[in-house]
Chains A and B, each alone.
Chain A
Amino acid sequence: MADSAKADVGVAGRTYPPVTFQLEPGRVAAFARAIGADPAAGVPPTFAAVYSLGATAPQLFGDAEAAVDFARLLHAEQEFTWSRHPRPDETVTSQGHVTTDLSRRGMRFVTFETETTDARAQPVCRSKALFVIRS
């Protein structure tokens, strides 16, 4: 009966409206410096934390029905898969989707996926985050 303690508590299946994000070169360079990368070497791969995950996760955190306690949230796992890396100044569109939302032993586990596409609707990046919200 391990599953008796496991309940679907929330917003699995919810998709948020797409968000447009411009990769402003100054911001890309500041991000590169913050992670010790060469600002001249283009867009650091994990700038996806900003243009993909970061562009969409606030929609989940600000969703009153999702009721995510941001202060008790830990980022437990993260995956990025790139079809290609975007260029500075490019404009991309990201759309977030809650794939699972489970409660187990007093912890809540939310899987949040984001698809990022370019101006021609071609795939750029897919982000998959696992958030754990401690009670």
Chain B
Amino acid sequence: MSRREVAFTREQIAAYAEASGDHNPIHLDDDFAQTVGLPGIIAHGMLQMGLMAGVAAEAAGGPEKLRRIYCRFAGMVVPGDVVTFTAEPLAPGKLDLRAINQRGEPVLTKSVAEYD
């Protein structure tokens, strides 16, 4: 099983916004996020998926081996959350992907990867 624990920070979320070009203010501006009913800024689902894919790639034997990845973003991740990402073999060429926060709540569910 491949595993990685990540403590999410505002700086990391801002860096992902910059690198990905996803500047939705719900990821950058607390006041704005609150006006649309969120607790404050939240991490990009695609940042979670990027971290998850890194763990999946390690389990698969390299990023170039990944053929498919699917993630369901089931829970919000906010700065200060600590998320544990794991990739576990499910069948030959198939991985079960999980991401669970510090309260034991899943933030990614039904997530899988396939590799060569």
Query: Which residues of A pack against B, CB within 8 Å?
Result: 27, 30-31, 33-37, 41-42, 44-46, 49-50, 53-54, 70-82, 85, 134
Contact = CB atoms under 8 A, between A and B. Distances in A.
B72 A76 contact: yes
18 contacts: A27-B19, A30-B18, A33-B19, A34-B50, A36-B51, A37-B54, A44-B54, A46-B46, A50-B20, A54-B22, A72-B36, A75-B44, A76-B45, A78-B71, A78-B73, A79-B70, A134-B36, A134-B37
A85 B68 CA distance: 11
Interface string B11-52: 010011011111011100000100111000000111101110
B21 A50 contact: yes
Interface of B: 6, 12, 15-16, 18-22, 24-26, 32, 35-37, 44-47, 49-51, 53-54, 57, 63-64, 66-73
Contacts of B67: 81-82
